[in-house]
Amino acid sequence: MARPDKAAKVSELTEAFSKSEATVLTEYRGLTVAQLKELRRSLGENATYAVAKNTLTAIAAKEAGIEGLDETLTGPTAIAFVTGDIAAATKGLRDFAKANPSLAIKGGVLEGKFLDAQAVLKLADLESREVLLSKMAGALQANLAKAAYLLAAPLSQGARVLGALRDAAEANPSLIGGAGSAPAAEATDETPAAEAAPEAAEAAE
């Protein structure tokens, strides 16, 4: 590869490393062209899969600030640059490797840190973004329903109390203030004279 072409390839790989959510390095020795196409299709929009020379990959990784890849850069290397759902992409690679043993996962990069093959496979066990979003939506909906219930509960209780008072008032009108007059108080021996016979008190004056 001519020097300008190498520089362009290194620049392309460096940008891919920098923009990816994660990167998975694989060895594809023994895979046919048809199988590589199938692998790319299985990754869908979650990742791009490209064959790269080890020397150029090493330079690009260093320019992107990534260290620790040197030991994985042996044999034919192809890189999955994950730009979508990390769990979905790594699951796709893992499942393809199970069906096609010629594909070997050598390691990867997540948030600029090197991951060995076992750590990459653990990413495949994570729940997908869709599942996480679904769980978050379900939790949010449940919290909103609970909040709505708490807000509505005092109103409904108040309505029941008012309804009970209305029913009681209809059954016994005397419970409503001003509906009738109170009976006159009877005079007793202890009632003050002015209250018992106001007219007499006025006459005495």
The CATH number covering residue 8 comes to 3.30.70.1730
Residues 99 and 7 in one domain: yes
pLDDT in tens, 67-118: 889 889 999 999 999 998 999 999 999 999 999 999 999 999 998 889 999 9
Task: Indicate whether 200 belongs to any domain.
Answer: no
99, 126, 153: which is the final residue of a domain? Answer: 126
Rounded percentage of the chain residues whose pLDDT exceeds 90 = 47
Nearest to 124 by CA among 48, 198, 45, 24: 24
For residue 27, name the pLDDT band (cuts at 50, 70, 90). Answer: very high
Whether residue 49 contacts residue 108, with contact meaning beta carbons closer than 8 Å, is answered with: no
Average pLDDT of the segment spanning 31-60: 92
Indicate if 70 and 145 belong to the same structural domain: no
User: Does the residue 118 lie in any domain?
Assistant: yes
Determine phi and psi for 11, rounding to 5 degrees: -60, -40
In a shared domain, residues 106 and 85: yes
Residue with the bigger pLDDT between 159 and 24: it is 24
Tell me how many domains the chain contains.
Answer: 2
Number of H helices, E strands in the chain: 8, 5
Same domain for 88 and 141, yes or no, is no
Residue 185 pLDDT exceeds 60: no
pLDDT at 106: 94
17/48 Cα distance (integer angstroms): 12
Tell me whether residue 194 is in a domain.
Answer: no
Residues 192-205 pLDDT 10s? 444 444 444 444 44
Q: Verify that 137 and 68 share a domain, yes or no.
A: no
Q: Are residues 13 and 65 in the same domain?
A: yes
pLDDT at 123 over 80: yes
Residue 56 lies in a domain: yes
Per-residue model confidence (pLDDT) at position 155: 52
Structure tokens of 124?
């495949």
* pLDDT surpassing 90 at residue 10: yes
Q: Are residues 118 and 134 in the same domain?
A: no
Query: Does residue 150 register a pLDDT over 90?
Result: no
- The whole domain housing 154 covers 128-163
